[in-house]
């Protein structure tokens, strides 16, 4: 049986989280001096990962884009949410090409090639669902930048080859992800052109305005990296319990995301009294 933590232990742990967030840094690797740190620790740009889950090479509705890469580890909530969303799309559009999944994080987090983030198991790259220009579903040929009309030329092809954004399936993917409350999507990085195509489609099909507003809120073309015209970059927010265990930052907490409550003290001097125990 696990022994309940004392008020002092709970206070100390919460204070460490608050102090680290205020300094804008991360804890670094969990150590015997910080045994309470676990899971997604630190920020997406400066963090580590413990107790991560590896995405299978393939499953219902999805495949790894780089099957032999070691960088397919993530927060268990993220792995569960992505695999669920891929199955939802597959059931709605049977016989179409799967979702191709790009990088997540290394097994223990930290820096991986080609990314400034992806360090704490809360980020994942998803290649867009694409079709031929005439609308037939095809396997993704890779990271293809798409223009405002949804068309893109496949780089490196022997002869000019074009693909089109599969707006219907990409919207269902976005919709499913943001409706998963336990997933807690914080950002869906994508280019302004892709966002416009998806939001226009959602409005045209009469999706609930609250849902469209949520999608428009989390869809964002980042200003400090590539415009993400060739894939989604999904980032999930820390849960309240994960924040207490060292998870930090990564963006604002939207109104629909629960925040942890700070400790309260019933009388002056209680904080000092707890610290002395």
- Report the C-alpha gap between 99 and 101 in whole angstroms: 6
Judged by DSSP in three states, 75 sits in: coil
Q: For residue 7, is pLDDT > 50?
A: no
What pLDDT score was predicted for residue 251?
83
Number of neighbours of residue 68 by Cβ within 10 angstroms: 7
183 and 225 in contact (C-beta within 8 Å)?
no
Enumerate residues 6+ apart whose C-beta is below 8 A from 234. Answer: 78, 82, 123, 124, 125, 126, 177, 185, 187, 188, 189
138 and 130 in contact (C-beta within 8 Å)?
yes
Q: How many CA atoms lie within 13 A of 66 on its CB side?
A: 13
Instruction: Report which of residues 254 and 11 the model is more confident about.
Output: 254
Give how far the C-alpha of residue 266 lies from the chain's centroid of Cα atoms, to the nearest Å.
38
pLDDT band at 32 (very low <50, low <70, confident <90, very high): low
Lowest average pLDDT, out of 10-14, 87-91, 119-123, goes to 10-14
CATH for 28-276, among 3.50.50.60, 3.90.76.10, 1.10.287.3510, 3.30.1380.10? 3.30.1380.10
pLDDT band at 226 (very low <50, low <70, confident <90, very high): confident
Could you give the residue ranges of the DSSP H alpha helices within the chain?
7-23, 76-92, 167-179, 192-204, 209-218, 240-244, 270-276
Instruction: Report which of residues 57 and 36 the model is more confident about.
Output: 57
What pLDDT score was predicted for residue 270?
55
- Report the C-alpha gap between 178 and 139 in whole angstroms: 24
Whether the full predicted model's pTM is greater than 0.85, yes or no, is no
Mean pLDDT of 226-243: 95
Q: For residue 223, is pLDDT > 90?
A: no
pLDDT band at 5 (very low <50, low <70, confident <90, very high): very low
Nearest Cα residue to 197 out of 168, 163, 230: 168
Domains of the chain, by residue range, sit at 28-276
């Amino acid at each position: 049986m696990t022994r309940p933590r004392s008020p002092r232990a709970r206070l100390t742990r919460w204070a460490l989280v608050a102090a680290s967030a205020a300094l804008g840094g991360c804890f670094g690797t969990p150590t015997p001096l910080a045994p309470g740190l676990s899971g997604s620790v630190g920020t997406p740009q400066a963090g580590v990962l413990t107790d991560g889950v590896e995405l299978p090479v393939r499953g219902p509705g999805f495949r790894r884009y780089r099957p032999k890469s070691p960088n397919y580890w993530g927060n268990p909530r993220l792995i569960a949410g992505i695999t669920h969303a891929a199955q939802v799309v597959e059931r709605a559009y049977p016989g179409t090409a799967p979702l191709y999944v790009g990088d997540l994080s290394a097994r223990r987090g930290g820096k991986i090639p080609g990314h400034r983030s992806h360090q704490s198991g809360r980020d994942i790259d998803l290649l867009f669902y694409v079709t031929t220009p005439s609308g037939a579903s095809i396997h993704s040929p890779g990271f293809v930048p798409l223009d405002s009309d949804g068309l893109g030329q496949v780089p490196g092809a022997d002869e000019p080859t074009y693909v089109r954004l599969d707006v219907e399936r990409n919207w269902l993917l976005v919709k499913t992800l943001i409706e998963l409350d336990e997933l807690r999507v914080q950002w869906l990085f994508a280019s302004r052109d892709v966002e416009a195509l998806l939001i226009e489609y959602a409005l045209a099909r009469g999706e609930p305005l609250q849902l469209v507003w949520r999608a428009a809120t989390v869809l964002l073309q980042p200003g400090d990296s590539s415009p993400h015209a060739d894939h989604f970059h999904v980032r999930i927010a820390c849960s309240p319990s994960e924040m207490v265990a060292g998870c930090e930052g990564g963006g604002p907490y939207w109104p629909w995301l629960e925040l942890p409550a700070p400790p309260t003290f019933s009388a002056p001097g209680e904080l000092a009294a707890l610290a002395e125990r």
